[in-house]
A = this chain, B = another copy of it.
């Protein structure tokens, strides 16, 4: 992160921190921390990911790229649910999402070199 963005976050928390804090407050007010252990949150995340998959299951790939507005609005809520549980789980595990994501992109860059990975769906173990 640049000095500029560090400055910025000193004065105004970034969006992910704001969401993390909102979820902490949400759980605190409802006394839900007793249920929010990592295993249960990982279950909830898988359940939400499947709810996000559900509206796509019988569509063809091209159809999935042209959802009717009502389906898209439903999908938007499921996307949000996955995001919220992911933020909550990462918080409980002490994982910084952005740092972890940047590190994973680095790993993926090494696993999928452009020359070998171009235009193929093969897994890195088969490149």
Asked if A86 contacts B84 (CB within 8 A), the reply is no
Which B residue's beta carbon lies closest to that of A22? B105
Which residues on B sit within 8 Å (CB–CB) of A34?
A: 119
Copies of chain A in the complex: 4
Question: Which residue in B16, B30, B45 is a CB contact (below 8 Å) of A118?
Answer: B30
Within 8 A of B (CB), among A25-64: 26, 29-32, 34-35, 37-40, 42-54, 56-64
Provide a sorted-by-A list of 17 A–B residue pairs whose CB atoms are within 8 angstroms. A5-B12, A5-B14, A14-B15, A16-B16, A30-B112, A30-B118, A30-B119, A32-B119, A38-B64, A43-B56, A44-B57, A48-B49, A65-B92, A72-B93, A76-B103, A77-B103, A77-B104
